[in-house]
Chain A
Amino acid sequence: MTAWEIFCQGRYLANRTKKLWFLLWLMNALLAAVAALPVFGVLNAELKNSLMAASLADRFSLDFAGEFAFKYWDSLPSALILIAALGMVYVVLTLLTTGGTLAVFSCTERRFTAPVFFKGCGTYFWRFFRLLIVAAIFYGIFVVALNGVLSSLVNKLTRPWTQQRLVLLVSWTRLLVVAFVFIVVNMVFDYAKVRLVIDEGRSAVMAALRSIKFVFRNFKKTLAVFVFCMLLGLLFIVIYNPLEHVLPQHTRRWIIVVFVLQQLFILARTYVRLTFFSSEVLLYESLRPSHAPAQEAPAAVPTTFEAGSSPSSPSASWTPPPGEAPAIDPTI
């Protein structure tokens, strides 16, 4: 199967797990609401009886923002601690739900069911936790340290340069290199998670090392799937941002409309994240070393899939039912 086919099927799988979307969205929204609550309280105290509220409802006010920042500057550390604490809770919840998500995408039915999801959450939590520590080391070495080293090299190299243009070009190149390495590390640890679930492995280090091998052995495909998913995310940003910009936001109705739009955007991001996982599961299944590549095993391809029915066995190249299958064209 081509990377595009994998991506299309991944999208299809992600589409079918709406309960999962909702669950992940709810998790995100509830935590963010906890952070927003004190902000609501403070803004309400500042503005509920002020004329400034009227102008702020229409547009951003630098006067108010600056004043607000100045007044609450001392509260910034507590706010940051709260956000960091919420972030940590979110990380734990994500570790839990990722296990469930991958279990859903790799199970026989490839459909969200509570038992499969919650069993997955519990089963893989500690493995993913260990993997997170390994990932932190990798990100530390390959992204943060690399960025530091490259920065100082660039600084040293460009020190005598007298043209900003050249210095900026080199800096941008550095940024691209670091971004690319970041993507690779990110991919490696996504596949390490997939591997832990599908192959029922236990060692986080082994999973990471094998995942590196997997990613580089199939680099074109893994990268292509990643890029497709990323572009899907970009597409949502490109749709959302101008829309948010042109919509009026000064009446109650429009404020609600924009709020709904914002939540739809978060749902879309959730969908993109799920597409990452589902596509990666599909790609891993189709390419994993213990299985023959899909293209070489046409016999294993089931031709139909009916909603509600289960395919006889999880397949390395699962295909959506006719009519529901997305169009497939470019070949990677």
Chain B
Amino acid sequence: MKKTLLMILSVWVGLLSAISLAPAALSQQVVQYQIAARLDPQAKAVVGSETLTWLNPSSDEVRELQFHLYLNAFKNEKSTFMRESGGQLRGDQAEEGKWGYIDVQSIKLDSGYDLKPSMKFLHPDDDNADDQTVMVATLPEPVRPNGTITLKIDFYSKLPRVFARTGYFGNFYMVGQWFPKIGVYESSGMRYATRGQWNCHQFHATSEFYADYGAYHVDLTVPSNYVVGATGVEQGNHPNKDGTTTHTFVQEDVHDFAWTADPTYIRMERLFDASRLTTAAEISDVARLVGRSPEDVSLQNVRMILLIHPEHAAQADRHFRALEYGLKYFGLWYGRYPYPTITVVDPAYKAGGAAGMEYPTLFTAGTGWLPSSPPSGLEEVVIHEFGHQYWYGMVGSNEFEESWLDEGFNTYSTSQVIDTAYGPSSLSIPFMGIPFSWFISSIKYFEDTVNRLETLGSTRRDYIVRNAWEYYDQTSYGVNSYPRTAATLRTLQHLVGDQTFARIMRTYFERWRFKHPTSNDFRAIVNEVAGRDMKWFFDQLVYSSNILDYAVDKVSSERPKLSLGLFDDPSGKRKEVTEDDRKKQEKEAADSKKRNDSLFESEVIVRRLGGVVVPVDVRVVFENGEQFDTTFDGQYRWTRYKFLKPTKIRYAEVDPEHRLLVDVNLANNSRTLETHHRAVVKWTSKFMFWIQNLLMSLMALV
């Protein structure tokens, strides 16, 4: 053990000197983790020792250190995570008796000073004294501004049976949130901090993570028959005498480290060949769109590693293809993927709780034995989890406090990639594991539609931006953080224009990669790039629960009626217009010869039914093909348009280009003068036919 440690130390020193010779790091290296961990398959545990060097990035003297002990969320039913989730996450039930926890066995400064006596648990988010997911240790002396401190921590991580991202199932191990991880020290003015303070939230059912960037050097010792994958690049591995092998992984400019091991993995590796997978035309098109040079936009090669279970081996191509699309489009649109590797992990069957989770340079996908035709959940998960390399991976927003900046931005980006790369998806509802899209061509849809529809139900309960654990419920967290954000960003894209929005997203990525932006930082970039103040948009659609609904309330076109009564002509003569005169006039107007000359008084009323006030395009189309386009500012609840034309209105429509994706009612966006019964009859008869069949089936039972 001692020998191993010495060796690790020498590798670490070598690595540090290599780093100093290497090009400047992409991030401020606040943390340097050197971890040696050994998997104990019998105990389903990881025994680890961690040397952490922390750089105080602030101008404050820091007197205490705060750590996340995420695994303690699974320690018992009294943890905040378990209380909030009811023991459930993503539909997986936590198995009774399969708890997980992390024990900090020793925590010392490199001087040998023991911090353990000062160690205690904090619960900054709630009053749950039983929660042990945040730990604080008081230092004998403060860490000076820009000073560093090195700690040595021994820990024992008992893994839970997989149900919330991390754990084991059989011989499958997905090891995430597994080591004592230091929080983020935010100095006054950084993000929302008004004074220097630790940002170290408890682990909540709906929250994800937040951490500082740095370098990881991790030695993983596992039984030699296990196939291992981890964050970063595998620098080497060497067998030990006890039938285990130690794998060494290193990576800079990341804020987390996760790994996986399973003896049944099939390991495949392919190259993302940038020159083969992107054409010069594509690069110049994107360069023009985002306003950068083709060199800025061009991509670099990446080693793609897939760890897949034998049952899914036939789907390897689909995994790689989806990953290629992710690397390509995220890279072209926002900025190139800078790491040398990306590892896709296919979780074991029944370890679905570990599926669809992102870590730096490694993520878990998720498929079944019989997947639907592409693009299906398989592609969506691969692209989405890869997308997190950008949103939260490189642009390190605080997932605890502003989940829309990672999940929502990523849902938006994923949707764009899927629609661009694959076209519309097919609705597939599998029955007993069989995807019916194989047999019947089903309903096709674009991601915008799904994002919009998923948003309909829960808009009213919360604003988009909120602490992850403070949404009305888990559904509201999900809807607001994922599809509502995607639909809202798409609406913003339509309002500012595709090119401007592409530049907004690129600028946001370029400026905030390897940093910790807030919603305000994104808003500032929107204003800057769009060249106008979009506060109204954010106030109403991001920091509000109002709904957007415009409707055409009334459309009419009638011939003006002859007014009855006594009228004086210029000569002073008084003439009475009677009912008979009116009838005569109407008859004449109805006469086909004169029809073209007669005028119609037309009226359109547009209403704002929702609380969101957005300027909306209004289009009125007349029977002779004439078109009237205008904009209703929406300030008041309704507006009226009047026309006097020799033609009737055919229809009036608000938002004819469908730019306001978050409009909750599209059926009322238009109104025609003529009534249409075809669709009504068609779908009613279809419904009747379904009921008829239902009754026929009932007959067979009676």
Contacts and interface: CB of A to CB of B under 8 A. Distances in A.
Contacts of B698: 87, 90-91, 94
A31 B676 contact: no
Interface in B644-702: 651, 653, 664-673, 675-689, 691-696, 698-702
A168 B432 contact: yes
Contact of B672 (A51, A68, A135, A163): A51
B174 to A, nearest CB: 14
A167 B432 CA distance: 10
Nearest to B702: A94
B679 A57 contact: yes
B667 A48 contact: no
Interface in A28-49: 28-29, 31-33, 35-36, 39-40, 43-44, 46-49
A86 B445 CA distance: 34
Contacts of B218: none
Contacts of A288: none
Interface string A202-217: 0000000000000000
Given A49-B671, A60-B443, A262-B689, A32 B695 contact: yes
Given A50-B671, A139-B701, A67 B666 contact: yes
A164 B671 CA distance: 51
B433 A36 contact: no
Contacts of B681: 255
Contacts of B701: 135, 139, 186
A154 to B, nearest CB: 12
A68 B666 CA distance: 10
A54 interface: yes
Given A62-B427, A160-B170, A164-B368, A33 B688 contact: yes
Contact of B682 (A31, A70, A255): A255
Interface residues of A, number: 69
- Classify chain B: how many residues form its interface, as a range: 35 or more
Q: Secondary structure of the A side of the interface?
A: helix
B457 interface: yes
B680 A66 contact: no
Contacts of B691: 31-32, 35-36, 83, 86
A253 to B, nearest CB: 10
B94 to A, nearest CB: 15
Contacts of A130: none
Given A139-B701, A273-B700, A70 B457 contact: yes
A266 B700 contact: no
B238 to A, nearest CB: 29
A50 B702 contact: no
Given A52-B670, A63-B452, 12 more contacts: A35-B691, A39-B687, A40-B684, A47-B679, A54-B679, A56-B679, A67-B665, A162-B348, A164-B311, A175-B432, A255-B678, A266-B696
Chain B CB within 10 A, most for which of A53, A83, A250, A270: A53
Contacts of A33: 688
14 contacts: A32-B689, A39-B688, A43-B684, A52-B666, A52-B667, A54-B679, A57-B682, A63-B452, A66-B452, A66-B453, A86-B691, A139-B701, A161-B350, A255-B681
A252 interface: yes
B155 to A, nearest CB: 29
A98 interface: yes
B555 interface: yes
B680 A43 contact: yes
Interface string B433-461: 10000000001010001101100110000
A187 to B, nearest CB: 11
A175 B452 CA distance: 37
Contacts of A46: 667
Given A49-B672, A87-B695, A35 B666 contact: no
Contacts of A161: 349-350
A172 interface: yes
A171 B432 contact: yes
Contacts of A32: 688-689, 691-692, 695
Top 6 closest pairs, chain A to chain B, by CB? A66-B453, A51-B670, A36-B688, A56-B679, A57-B679, A32-B691
B692 A29 contact: yes
A238 B550 CA distance: 45
A40 B686 CA distance: 11
Interface in A246-264: 249-252, 255, 258-259, 262
B695 A49 contact: no
A49 B552 CA distance: 10
B696 A28 contact: yes
Interface in A1-53: 28-29, 31-33, 35-36, 39-40, 43-44, 46-53
B113 interface: no
A70 B663 CA distance: 13
A172 B432 CA distance: 7
A266 B693 contact: yes
A64 interface: yes
B678 A252 contact: yes
A293 B440 CA distance: 46
B487 to A, nearest CB: 12
B369 A164 contact: yes
A164 B349 contact: yes
B617 to A, nearest CB: 14
Nearest to A25: B692
B675 to A, nearest CB: 4
Contacts of B668: 50
B148 to A, nearest CB: 45
Contacts of B700: 186, 273, 276
Interface in A224-281: 249-252, 255, 258-259, 262, 265-266, 269-270, 273, 276
Contact of B699 (A35, A51, A90): A90
Chain B CB within 10 A, most for which of A32, A50, A54: A50
Contact of A162 (B170, B450, B671, B679): B170
Given A43-B680, A54-B679, A164-B368, A171 B672 contact: no
Nearest to A95: B702
A60 B424 CA distance: 14
Contacts of B696: 28, 266, 269-270, 273
A176 to B, nearest CB: 11
A50 B667 contact: yes
A163 B349 CA distance: 6
A165 B670 contact: no
Contacts of B653: 51
Contacts of A223: none
A172 B430 CA distance: 13
